[in-house]
Amino acid sequence: MMNRSQARSLGWAAVLAVCLAMLVVLSFKVHAVKSEVLLAERTLIALERETMLLETEFQTRANQRQLAEWNAVEFGYAAPRAGQFLDGERQLASLGEQLGPDAPAPIRLARADASDAAAAAEDAPMRSPVSGAKVAMARAEPEKASGEVFAEAFGDFLIEASPIRPARAETPKTLPVKGTAE
């Protein structure tokens, strides 16, 4: 049998072991919560970046007229026309013909119509600093009824102010709920 001091020592050792076990369990729980917080912060940062990207894209798309004007004045880019590549339907049909075994590959050149370029250059008061070519600015449209003008202006306002963003077919990543296993 044990005497009273040995029982007391054994009791304190048991209390100390229980406290140590509770400390280990508590430290694991704290570490798990800390990991969840870090994961939530990373998710928030990723969502903020995506939001900034979408807002920038929305603002850019809302300013299509301004971008088109900058393109005309600053950059001078233009979409290619069919006449730059083919002279007509016969040339298009000839592309589908079988070439002989010793036939050279056809040479394709881009060209611009001199009459179109000269007519456009006469009307433009400004030149593009990049290409040096004269730039045609937007012209006033013919008179419209006041209802048409209002409808167009209101439609443009709605497009610029719209908070609607394109939908993405993506399932959101959710954090595990406390008490559930994943």
Question: Distance between CA 93 and CA 33 in Å, rounded?
Answer: 70
pLDDT tens, the chain, 182 aa long: 678 888 899 999 999 999 999 999 999 999 999 999 999 999 999 999 999 999 988 887 778 888 788 787 877 777 777 777 777 777 777 777 777 788 777 676 666 666 665 655 555 456 666 666 776 665 555 566 666 766 677 666 666 666 554 455 555 555 555 555 54
To which H or E segment does residue 135 belong? strand 134-135
pTM comes to 0.32
Task: Please give the pLDDT value at position 33.
Answer: 94
Question: Distance between CA 100 and CA 103 in Å, rounded?
Answer: 5
